[in-house]
Amino acid sequence: MNHVIEHLESYVGEIAGGHSFLPDGSKAPFHVVQASDGPIPGLTTFATLGLCRFPLARLGACEDDHMVRQELVMVAPTDAVPANLPALVQQVGMGALARGAAFSNGEIIGPKGALFQGFEPTALVAAQPYCFPEGFAAVDDSEERHVEFLWLVPLHTDEVTLIQSQGWEGFERFLAHESVYYTDYRRSV
């Protein structure tokens, strides 16, 4: 686990806090940590830490590569971190454990109604962590197990529809042509 912590802190800064309790007060099987000195000024990063201790099935993969170890990250503007964001990251991680399967690049989670009070995002998409420098996406832990990081990006309902109609590749083409800041959930669509 030390290699995962060192890797995370080398990209997002020193872990400044976190929690590991579920809404019912019981201890969660992993932490959600927070750091504010990441690669993009003005953003706070939240990440699962310890989710990678649980091997998860890689849906649709061949048998030789059917298990994965994964951590999830989400970013928000430091001046507007939704109060429920750490709990949302924890809920998504608990969902992966409950289904016994890792999230795949381009997988939509939701829609489930407004994610943050007063803002429109209704779903998340699991994506390669494009907002982080190259090298962030994976690390080998202290036991030399490969750990992947996936970025949870809040989506508006129109963006979910775009992914469903044009596929993940179509959405990536859209991203390449638009000046949309997916690090800010308050963006307009």
Residue 186 counted as domain residue: no
Residue 59 lies in domain = 2-177
Domains contained in the chain, number: 1
Average pLDDT over all residues of the chain: 86
| Rounded mean pLDDT, 91-112 | 92
Express each pLDDT in 16-42 by its tens digit. 888 888 888 899 999 999 998 777 788
Is residue 128 in a domain? yes
Give the other-Cβ count within 10 Å of 160's Cβ.
19
**Of 188 and 40, more confident:** 40
Amino acid at position 23, single letter? P
Instruction: Give the range among 102-106, 142-146, 183-187 with minimum mean pLDDT.
Output: 183-187
Q: What is the CA radius of gyration of the chain?
A: 16
Residues of the chain with pLDDT > 90: what percent? 42
Whether residue 182 lies inside any domain: the answer is: no
Which residues, at least 6 apart from 61, have a Cβ–Cβ distance to it below 8 Å?
A: none
Is residue 64 very low, low, confident or very high in pLDDT (cuts 50, 70, 90)? Answer: low
Q: Is residue 92 part of a domain?
A: yes
141 in a domain, yes or no? yes
